[in-house]
Structure 1
Amino acid sequence: MTKEKNSYVNRELSWLQFNERVLQEAKDESVPLIERLRFLGIFSNNLDEFFKVRYATVKRIDEAGKGGKSELGGVKAAELLEIITKVVIQQQSDSLDILSNIHKRLEKEGIFIINETEIDSKHHNFIKDYYIQNVSPALVTIILNDSLEIPLLKDSAAYLAVKMVLDNNEKQYALIEIPKSMDRFVVLPKKGDDNYIIILDDLIRYCMDDIFNIFNYKSVTASMIKITRDGELDFDSDLSKSFIEKISESVKHRQIGEPVRFVYDKTIDSETLKYLMSKMGIDSKDSVIPGGRYHNRRDYMGFPSLGRTDLLYDKIVPLQIKDLSLQNSIFPSLSERDYLLHTPYQTFSYVVKFLREAALDPKVKTINITIYRLAQISHVASSLINAAKNGKKVTVVIELRARFDEQANIDYAEQMQTEGVNLLFGVDGLKVHSKMCVIERKEGKKIKRYGFISTGNFNESTAKVYTDFTLFTSNPKILKDVNKVFNFFNTNYLIYRYKHIITSPHYTKSKLFSLIDNEIENVKLGKPAYIKLKLNSISSYAMVDKLYEASRAGVKIQMIVRGICCLVPGVPGMSDNIEVISIVDKFLEHTRLYVFCNSDDPKVYISSADWMTRNIEHRVEVSCPIYQEDIKEDLLNIFDICWSDNVKARIIDETQSNQYRTNDNPKVRSQFALYDYFKNKLNA
């Protein structure tokens, strides 16, 4: 087995296998029906982002004339583009079969998704009125002309490509943009107990006569198309412009980026397809993918529930943390000990409570926090503004380059700046991806620090569906180090030393290597040795090679990796001591946890960093040690519960087949088991 061919799984292909696991959830008949539709939406949304970012990157490597073989896991860029297109076409075909199956199942539940040919008299007037009142004012319709250049189509917008055959047998083409501002699913009046829904595209098809009544045509057809554009931001070098201005202009420019994918309804007639591709300058070198009747299936994430809670997952009530009150002051409790928050099983309200109390407390003098992605309506942001209005010195390090959330962060940055918050825009050349906050509070004659370090964003919306750890602490050793990171943001020409936390880009790789080397040394000495990792992704070849080294030495390694895994486990002589599983279920697994045996005195870290080159070398990341024994025990228990999952865990191996892990042990569905774990702790 040669290293070049077999040591690594290509990053892009591994990502597509992750999205295959999402598609498995849509296919799984044990998943509630409407949730299955929403998983199809997640699958589609993931694929859009993949083409904007990863496919676009490989395409740039190919166009630059670089083989890209070393960067792409032993595959040439041109070859990889072909493989990706082939895999995606198959996945798209599978997803359409799954969607058809779900529609049939919904009909048995009295939910009918009808098209423009299935509308009866009871719905006719409602649809026509809905079109006139809501849809028509929002429509953008483009009449195409041979002598005119086609207007630039928006990134990821869905268009109906219309072909009219006129009375004189001439062809007239047009494009109708499906309005993004409207709900994609229009709920129609019920008939008896049955629910009816029409997709906005079909409602528009039904009203073609209203749109094109100035044309004398014999027939009209409409087929959907979509363009996906390169999502990379190109920055202006104009020194007179502020960073916010440059980011704003780059975000706008993204809408006219190079096309990287053209998706079309596979039933479109060849004449129309040829005409459109010619007008848009698309050829066979581009990723041209035949799809179904409907594109932008990401909208299924917002499929209406119709009050059918029986077709949804049961909602959980987020729990409180034992002995940490949401009614009383949080600081006296934190002064005594640390607390671990695990969302969404426990309530994110503790983060907001901490910041709101800090905003009002006269003893609090400063608040420093990093922001990567905020909720659309953010209580975190309003708390920070409140603190500034109360005279606190509030410094927010906001990452304006958080991919696809740039505009939202720009809007919040401008709002906070106006309200007196001191804003820092990170470090040149490094994304700020660390998740941390530290406040300074005057207690008597001394200043005491309190803070929190997290694996996830301070975002109330995603905290309901992303699993994340947040450590609340007043440990002076940890917070002194965290404060140094904020000093680095102010004076980033200085490289600080940290005694406790692990930081990127300066120390993560060397520190992790040291921790792995310690396990290798211990196993050679006959001492207990193991490594347990929970990550979103691992694609750094340096980290993969180090784990291979540990495996060859005899260190047992258990890994739970949600997404990209370039490591190949279970290969004799290379990785036979490494096992990897992936869990995809109701919530998005987002916790990052590192555990090193350390001769049965485990070293445990929670982290903002995946084991990817970008996290280790090109971002500001923080991994925080866990010193308090009961929290350390909780984290070890959490890992073991996840590791024992035999319902939603898939085996990651050389075959890349996403086989579910099955065994004769009692059934453990880790996400449900973790909720019970915290519920039992609370009631103990």
Structure 2
Amino acid sequence: MTRPLPYYVNRDLSWIEFNRRVLEEAQDTGSPLLERVKFLAIMSSNLDEFMSVRVAGIQDQIKAGYTKKDFTGYTPAGLWKRLMKRTARMVADQYKVYREVLRDLTKQGICFRDIDELNAAQTKAIDDYFQEIVFPVLTPMAVDQSRPFPLLHTKELYLSVLLGRDNVPPEEEPFIAIVQVPSILQRFVPVPGRLNSKKTEFILLEDLIERHINTLFNGYTTIDVHPFRLTRNADLTLNEEGAEDLLEEIEKEIRRRRWGMPVRLEYGKGMHPYALQVLQEELELGENIMEIDGPLDLSFLMRFASSLPGYDSLRFERTEPVYPQEFDHAEDMFTILRAEDVLVYHPYESFEAVNDFVTEAAHDPDVLAIKMTLYRVSGQSALVQALAEAAEAGKQVTVVVELKARFDEERNIAWARQLEKAGCHVVYGLVGLKTHAKITLVVRREQQMLRRYVHVGTGNYNDNTAKLYTDFGLFTSHPVIGADASALFNEITGYSSPYEWKAFGVAPTDLKQKLFGLIDREKAHALAGQPAHIVAKMNSLSNQEMIDKLYEASQAGVRIELIVRGVCCLRPGVPGRSENIRVISIVDRFLEHSRVMYFNNGGDEEIYLSSADWMTRNLTRRIELMCPVFDPRLRKMMINVLRLNLIDNVKARELLPSGNYELVTNDSPPMRSQFEARKIAKWKN
């Protein structure tokens, strides 16, 4: 008898499936070779974060003796075992792909060499490089009774070195030392070309250090040298209510992150058993150790593929974002926005429009106030500079800086201090809630009245990621949206009674209930025998209540199409529950990041853009925003984008009832939605 499928897919197991889709992009021989190399790096970076946050949290639950099952039926211990098994299999597949990619690189004249493959001239060159550049920054760390085991930093590469001496009996335990591979130096070391050869050759920095390891330990003989790498728990544990200064409290937690509990140990294949035993004992690691058959931490390949000069034929064709045509020849953006709303689609359209909007507001004498949320900002942000200039010019500038944006905390602290120094009113959000909404409000004096101009986005105010992520941004002067924007900032920065939102849906107060109401409306249409259709695009779907609400709508006959790039805990195609639900995931050149919701509404179609994924944290523990698009032209454009996603048969993968994904294949001509989206300017004419 066939065992019935469970109704939900586990969130962490679903994430493993997502990272496998990333690995499949590295396998895709139809993509340019150096782009495949980048996907190998992305997979490694993804896995690092997964281990340091999600797996670390599961291990904490196990240590605390927590045995309750989650809504997908897993206890922490059972889930941990399943994750480790799948992760090990995925990493083994990753290094198989890595070796295949290396062979393809070699065919193109890009070679990673073992040191013993170099000729005499090349060997002398790398030896000179070691003596002049590498040796001065190395610090050997012996481990013995007088020198305790050193603090190992998370995600840094180290070499374990076993040493012997002539006067020490062989049955005695060997000496052990640790050498950090300096991350300040690039991991891939160029090697001078051979005579009459056009090949571009490299060696790895750790191999060069191993070659010269005896220079660090005079009088000892080397028994074994192997690389290893530690991943620590990187989740911040904050007592926000008890913190007198949230900024200082987060700075302390960032420092504590350096010595968070060990979560994973990776080590090079063939490491000496004694060295491995010492590492396991000193780090108090149990089973979560992983032998790697190849270089540890392939994330270095991102810098390698991006910085390698030439070889443009091995990369995607370079495409420059176009400046939005609505603003292209305008004397000022406010004149345009008084006449019409403008929708910008990144990365095909330039983020410079957002920079210009804030910069123009900063320099406009009629602008009285600028209010903005900042979650993840780039290292050299024109927005921060414009906000500082606005404050120095005497405007009221309020900036909600989210200090708890994971792994961007230090950068955001620096921005917060710079903005405060310039005279901005900097707010760190509400206790217990991350401010994840992406919104800018400009208040301008015009003809004895005040007018509000608003930008609402699905992505961060980050000009770097705006070149790599697909996101929507809406510019509008619609009075209802402006009033809601003012109310939102008042709730974040001051005391305010609950507000009756006219246009917005705002988490954690009413966004989930508003979405439930929109889904129920489609359900009512279906039960009345009318067309009913929902399309929702997001990064992740894991909230059980939301999934159950979608199941209800499916059972009532609503056609539901979900475009979920990453984690999806909903299981489509389950008889009697989700036959009317289809789920696809698109992993391609750009990171699909936009959150867009479509509701047929009996033919009176509605479109919303949002900052929120349908995850419990977004709906209950963050300040999130969902905003309607009122302009029929812009709604049509966004529906076209969703339609392109749904008919993608090149990079779309469909979620099966089993929880696995398979590439969408059909008899239609090849349609790659991201490539078709380049034609966005045509839709706007």
* Residues 140 and 179, structure 2, Cα contact 8 Å, conserved in 1: yes
Secondary structure of the corresponding residue to residue 294 of structure 1 = coil
Give, in angstroms, the shift of residue 317 of structure 1: 1.4
For residues 542 and 408 of structure 2, what CA distance do their matches in structure 1 show? Answer: 24
Letter in 2 for 1:128: D
Q: 1:680 aligns with which of 668, 679, 682?
A: 682
Partner of residue 254, structure 2: 251
Give, in angstroms, the shift of residue 294 of structure 1: 1.8
Give, in angstroms, the shift of residue 162 of structure 1: 1.4
Partner of residue 207, structure 2: 202
2:627 corresponds to 1:624: yes
Partner of residue 269, structure 1: 272
Question: 5+ unaligned residues in a row in structure 2: which ranges?
Answer: none
* Residues 161 and 177, structure 2, Cα contact 8 Å, conserved in 1: yes
Q: CA 1:85–1:572 in 2, change beyond 3 Å: closer, same or farther?
A: same
Letter in 1 for 2:219: F
Secondary structure of the corresponding residue to residue 452 of structure 1 = strand
* Residues 584 and 655, structure 2, Cα contact 8 Å, conserved in 1: yes
2:299 corresponds to 1:298: yes
Partner of residue 288, structure 1: 289
For residues 501 and 4 of structure 2, what CA distance do their matches in structure 1 show? Answer: 37
Q: How many residues align?
A: 677
Partner of residue 572, structure 1: 575
Deviates further, 557-566 or 227-236: 227-236
Q: CA 1:546–1:4 in 2, change beyond 3 Å: closer, same or farther?
A: farther
For residues 496 and 270 of structure 2, what CA distance do their matches in structure 1 show? Answer: 59
2:473 corresponds to 1:474: no
For residues 211 and 599 of structure 1, what CA distance do their matches in structure 2 show? Answer: 75
For residues 340 and 33 of structure 1, what CA distance do their matches in structure 2 show? Answer: 34
Q: CA 1:380–1:326 in 2, change beyond 3 Å: closer, same or farther?
A: farther
Letter in 2 for 1:680: K
Secondary structure of the corresponding residue to residue 299 of structure 2 = helix
- State the Cα deviation string for residues 139-162 of structure 1 (Å, max 9, x = none): 232112256431121111111111
Secondary structure of the corresponding residue to residue 521 of structure 1 = helix
* Residues 5 and 574, structure 2, Cα contact 8 Å, conserved in 1: no
For residues 509 and 279 of structure 1, what CA distance do their matches in structure 2 show? Answer: 47
Give, in angstroms, the shift of residue 679 of structure 1: 4.1
2:85 corresponds to 1:86: yes
Give, in angstroms, the shift of residue 503 of structure 1: 0.4
Q: CA 1:612–1:483 in 2, change beyond 3 Å: closer, same or farther?
A: same
Letter in 1 for 2:61: I
- State the Cα deviation string for residues 90-129 of structure 1 (Å, max 9, x = none): 1110011000001111111111111333232222232223
Partner of residue 8, structure 2: 8
Q: CA 1:397–1:163 in 2, change beyond 3 Å: closer, same or farther?
A: same
2:608 corresponds to 1:605: yes
For residues 408 and 492 of structure 1, what CA distance do their matches in structure 2 show? Answer: 28
> What TM-score results when the alignment is normalised by the length of structure 2?
0.96
* Residues 223 and 293, structure 1, Cα contact 8 Å, conserved in 2: no
Q: CA 1:524–1:235 in 2, change beyond 3 Å: closer, same or farther?
A: closer
Partner of residue 554, structure 2: 551
- State the Cα deviation string for residues 487-534 of structure 1 (Å, max 9, x = none): 001225632220111100000111111101101110111111010010
For residues 327 and 298 of structure 1, what CA distance do their matches in structure 2 show? Answer: 43
2:566 corresponds to 1:563: yes
- State the Cα deviation string for residues 308-365 of structure 1 (Å, max 9, x = none): 1111111111122233226631110011110111100111110001011111111111
Q: CA 1:462–1:581 in 2, change beyond 3 Å: closer, same or farther?
A: same
Q: What is the correspondence of 1:85-164 to structure 2 with a 5 Å cutoff? A: 85-145=84-144, 148-164=147-163
> What TM-score results when the alignment is normalised by the length of structure 1?
0.96
- State the Cα deviation string for residues 563-621 of structure 1 (Å, max 9, x = none): 00000001110100000000000000001000111001111100000000000011000
Partner of residue 216, structure 1: 220
Letter in 1 for 2:107: K
Partner of residue 69, structure 1: 69
* Residues 224 and 272, structure 2, Cα contact 8 Å, conserved in 1: no
Give, in angstroms, the shift of residue 167 of structure 1: 2.7
- State the Cα deviation string for residues 534-556 of structure 1 (Å, max 9, x = none): 01000000000000000000100
Give, in angstroms, the shift of residue 5 of structure 1: 6.3
Letter in 2 for 1:216: Y
* Residues 34 and 305, structure 1, Cα contact 8 Å, conserved in 2: no
Secondary structure of the corresponding residue to residue 428 of structure 1 = coil
Partner of residue 358, structure 1: 361
For residues 296 and 497 of structure 2, what CA distance do their matches in structure 1 show? Answer: 50
* Residues 533 and 558, structure 2, Cα contact 8 Å, conserved in 1: yes
2:176 corresponds to 1:173: yes
2:347 corresponds to 1:335: no
* Residues 61 and 68, structure 1, Cα contact 8 Å, conserved in 2: no
Secondary structure of the corresponding residue to residue 124 of structure 2 = helix
Q: CA 1:598–1:183 in 2, change beyond 3 Å: closer, same or farther?
A: same
For residues 329 and 454 of structure 1, what CA distance do their matches in structure 2 show? Answer: 21
* Residues 214 and 220, structure 2, Cα contact 8 Å, conserved in 1: no
Secondary structure of the corresponding residue to residue 6 of structure 1 = coil
Give, in angstroms, the shift of residue 273 of structure 1: 1.1
Give, in angstroms, the shift of residue 388 of structure 1: 1.2
Q: 1:505 aligns with which of 505, 508, 514?
A: 508
Q: What is the correspondence of 1:308-347 to structure 2 with a 5 Å cutoff? A: 308-325=311-328, 328-347=331-350
* Residues 116 and 205, structure 1, Cα contact 8 Å, conserved in 2: no
* Residues 427 and 492, structure 1, Cα contact 8 Å, conserved in 2: no
Partner of residue 46, structure 1: 46
* Residues 224 and 293, structure 1, Cα contact 8 Å, conserved in 2: no
Q: CA 1:151–1:2 in 2, change beyond 3 Å: closer, same or farther?
A: farther
For residues 238 and 506 of structure 1, what CA distance do their matches in structure 2 show? Answer: 20
Secondary structure of the corresponding residue to residue 630 of structure 2 = coil
* Residues 163 and 220, structure 2, Cα contact 8 Å, conserved in 1: no
For residues 192 and 329 of structure 2, what CA distance do their matches in structure 1 show? Answer: 44
Secondary structure of the corresponding residue to residue 323 of structure 1 = helix
Q: CA 1:54–1:143 in 2, change beyond 3 Å: closer, same or farther?
A: same
Deviates further, 387-396 or 459-468: 387-396
For residues 66 and 329 of structure 2, what CA distance do their matches in structure 1 show? Answer: 56
Secondary structure of the corresponding residue to residue 209 of structure 1 = helix
Q: CA 1:147–1:275 in 2, change beyond 3 Å: closer, same or farther?
A: farther
For residues 56 and 654 of structure 1, what CA distance do their matches in structure 2 show? Answer: 29
Secondary structure of the corresponding residue to residue 510 of structure 1 = helix
For residues 88 and 311 of structure 1, what CA distance do their matches in structure 2 show? Answer: 30
Partner of residue 55, structure 1: 55
Q: What is the correspondence of 1:30-45 to structure 2 with a 5 Å cutoff? A: 30-45=30-45
- State the Cα deviation string for residues 370-422 of structure 1 (Å, max 9, x = none): 00000011111111111112111111000000001101101111111111111
For residues 240 and 680 of structure 1, what CA distance do their matches in structure 2 show? Answer: 52
Secondary structure of the corresponding residue to residue 324 of structure 1 = helix
For residues 452 and 505 of structure 1, what CA distance do their matches in structure 2 show? Answer: 21
For residues 633 and 554 of structure 1, what CA distance do their matches in structure 2 show? Answer: 25
* Residues 478 and 501, structure 1, Cα contact 8 Å, conserved in 2: yes
Secondary structure of the corresponding residue to residue 562 of structure 2 = strand
Letter in 2 for 1:438: L
Secondary structure of the corresponding residue to residue 365 of structure 1 = strand
Give, in angstroms, the shift of residue 172 of structure 1: 2.1
* Residues 240 and 246, structure 2, Cα contact 8 Å, conserved in 1: no
Q: CA 1:548–1:238 in 2, change beyond 3 Å: closer, same or farther?
A: closer
RMSD: 1.8
Q: CA 1:89–1:321 in 2, change beyond 3 Å: closer, same or farther?
A: same
For residues 576 and 199 of structure 1, what CA distance do their matches in structure 2 show? Answer: 52
Q: CA 1:384–1:144 in 2, change beyond 3 Å: closer, same or farther?
A: same
Q: CA 1:239–1:525 in 2, change beyond 3 Å: closer, same or farther?
A: closer
For residues 324 and 315 of structure 1, what CA distance do their matches in structure 2 show? Answer: 24
Secondary structure of the corresponding residue to residue 315 of structure 1 = coil
* Residues 656 and 662, structure 2, Cα contact 8 Å, conserved in 1: no
Partner of residue 671, structure 2: 668
